[in-house]
Amino acid sequence: MIRGGFAKTGIEAVLKKARVPKGSFYYYFPSKEDFGLAVIDDVAEQMFGPLEACMSDASVRPLARIRNYLEAGLAAVDGKCCKQGCLLGDLGQELAHQNEKFRHRLEEVFSRWKACLAGCLAEARKRKELSAKADPEKLAGFILSGWEGAILRSKVARSVEPMKQFIDVLFGQVLVR
């Protein structure tokens, strides 16, 4: 799915790569759609472990936690030569307008992601790292949307420069007191 998207990923290719008999696959996943939803859940759980650990690390200042998380994401995209970004974002772009189940599941994942960021931003505001007027929910939505856009642009440009620019503007101009 990372290479060709959901539509181009055939079950036969998945079976071959996973070395799983067709009957076993269909025992766990009655349809390709069920498999796709399970992929979203699996990718989300892999993402949320490090995200939640990073956002709740009390030994690091809240805004530094967010910056560390984004810089780790930048390094991951750079490590893949900007050919792979966020599978959840890719699936959202491909499927949100075609399949309501996928759209709903992805919205749940992005909402949880936003909540992690918002919690960290609320802590930053409480510690006076952010203006008292800052709205953690709106800022979290802005960060998430901007980050996904920066990842997309980095894939198109085959350069992490859009991601670097996003981080620089976010911390130099947006998340200020």
Q: Is the pLDDT of residue 2 over 80?
A: no
Write out the residue range of the structural domain in which residue 102 sits: 32-174
* 131 token code pair: 């203006």
* Domain-located, residue 138: yes
**Which residue do the tokens 């996904």 mark?**
148
Residue range 53-69, pLDDT digits in tens: 999 999 999 999 999 99
The pLDDT assigned to 19 comes to 85
* Domain-located, residue 22: no
Q: Is the pLDDT of residue 52 over 70?
A: yes
* Domain-located, residue 81: yes
Q: Is the pLDDT of residue 36 over 80?
A: yes
* Domain-located, residue 24: no
- CA 45, CA 87: separation in Å to the nearest integer? 13
Q: Measure the N-to-C terminal CA separation of the chain; round to a whole number of Å.
A: 41
* CATH number, domain with residue 112: 1.10.357.10
The answer for residues whose C-beta is within 8 angstroms of residue 3's C-beta and 6 or more apart is: none
The tally of domains found in the chain comes to: 1
* Domain-located, residue 11: no
Q: Which range (11-15, 43-47, 136-140, 147-151) has the least confidence?
A: 11-15
Q: 16-25, 82-91, 119-128 — which one is most confidently predicted on average? A: 119-128
Residue 82 binned pLDDT confidence (cut-offs 50, 70, 90): low
Q: Is the pLDDT of residue 91 over 90?
A: no
* Domain-located, residue 8: no
Q: Is the pLDDT of residue 75 over 90?
A: yes
SS3 146: helix
Residue 111 binned pLDDT confidence (cut-offs 50, 70, 90): very high
Q: Is the pLDDT of residue 175 over 90?
A: yes
Residue range 113-169, pLDDT digits in tens: 999 999 999 999 999 999 999 999 999 999 999 999 999 999 899 999 999 999 999
> How far is CA 36 from each of CA 11, 24, 151, 175, rounded to the nearest angstrom?
11, 16, 22, 36
Within 13 A of 30's CA, how many CA atoms are on the CB side? 0
Q: Is the pLDDT of residue 1 over 70?
A: no
* 157 token code pair: 């440009």
Average pLDDT, the chain: 90
* Domain-located, residue 15: no
* Domain-located, residue 27: no
